Chains A and B, each alone.
Chain A
Amino acid sequence: MVKVKVEFLGGLDVIFDKERTHKVTVAADAGSDVTMGDLIDYIVDNMIKNSNDRCVFIENDNIRPGILTLINDTDWELEGEKEYVLEDGDVVSFTSTLHGG
Chain B
Amino acid sequence: MNLEDRKELEALRKENAELKRKLGVQKFQNDELAMSLEEFKRYGRQMIVETFGGVDGQLKLRNAKVLIIGAGGLGCPCLPYLAGAGIGHIGIVDNDVVDTSNLHRQVLHSSNSVGKLKCDSAKEFLQKLNPHVEVTTYPVRLSHANCFGIFTGYDYVLDCTDTPLTRYLISDVAVCLGMTVVSASGLGYEGQLSILNFKSMGPCYRCFYPAPPSPSNVSSCQEGGVIGPCIGLVGIMMAVETIKLIMGVYTEENFEPFLLQYSGFPHQTLRRFKMRGRKPNCISCGPDSTVNRAAILAGGINYELFCGKRNYDVCKPEERITVEEFEKAYMSQEGLDYTLLDVRPHHHYDISHLPNTFNITVKELRDMDGNMDLLKRHIPKLTDRSEVLVMCRYGNDSQLATKLLKDEFKISTVRDIRGGLFKYIDEINPSLPKY
CA A73 to CA B270, docked complex, whole Å: 12
Add 17 more A-B contacts to A9-B261, A95-B261, A100-B221 (CB < 8 A): A11-B219, A56-B217, A59-B214, A65-B213, A66-B212, A73-B271, A73-B273, A73-B274, A98-B185, A98-B191, A99-B185, A99-B218, A101-B70, A101-B75, A101-B159, A101-B162, A101-B186
**Contact, CB under 8 Å: B272 / A73:** yes
**Contact, CB under 8 Å: B186 / A100:** yes
**Contact, CB under 8 Å: A77 / B276:** yes
Please name all residues of chain B whose beta carbon is closer than 8 Å to the beta carbon of A73 when the two chains form the complex.
271-274
Known contacts A66-B217, A75-B276; is A100 also within 8 Å of B271 by CB?
Answer: no
Please name all residues of chain A whose beta carbon is closer than 8 Å to the beta carbon of B217 when the two chains form the complex.
56, 64, 66, 96
Please name all residues of chain B whose beta carbon is closer than 8 Å to the beta carbon of A65 when the two chains form the complex.
209-214
Please name all residues of chain B whose beta carbon is closer than 8 Å to the beta carbon of A70 when the two chains form the complex.
273
Q: Name the 10 nearest CB pairs between A and B, nearest first.
A: A66-B213, A65-B211, A100-B187, A101-B162, A98-B185, A100-B221, A77-B276, A74-B274, A98-B187, A75-B275
10 A-B contacts, Cβ less than 8 Å apart? A11-B219, A66-B218, A74-B274, A97-B213, A98-B192, A99-B162, A99-B218, A100-B186, A100-B219, A101-B75
- Count of inter-chain pairs, beta carbons less than 8 A: 99
Chain B at the A interface: SS class: mixed
**Contact, CB under 8 Å: A50 / B162:** no
Q: Quick one: which of A63-92 are within 8 Å of B by CB?
A: 64-66, 68, 70, 73-75, 77-78
Q: Quick one: which of B157-173 are within 8 Å of A by CB?
A: 159-164, 167
Of the listed residues B217, B224, B266, B367, the one surrounded by the most CB atoms of chain A closer than 10 A to its CB is B217
**Contact, CB under 8 Å: A101 / B161:** yes
- Select one of B188, B209, B221 contacting A66, CB under 8 A: B209
Closest A residue to B75 by CB, please name it.
Answer: A101
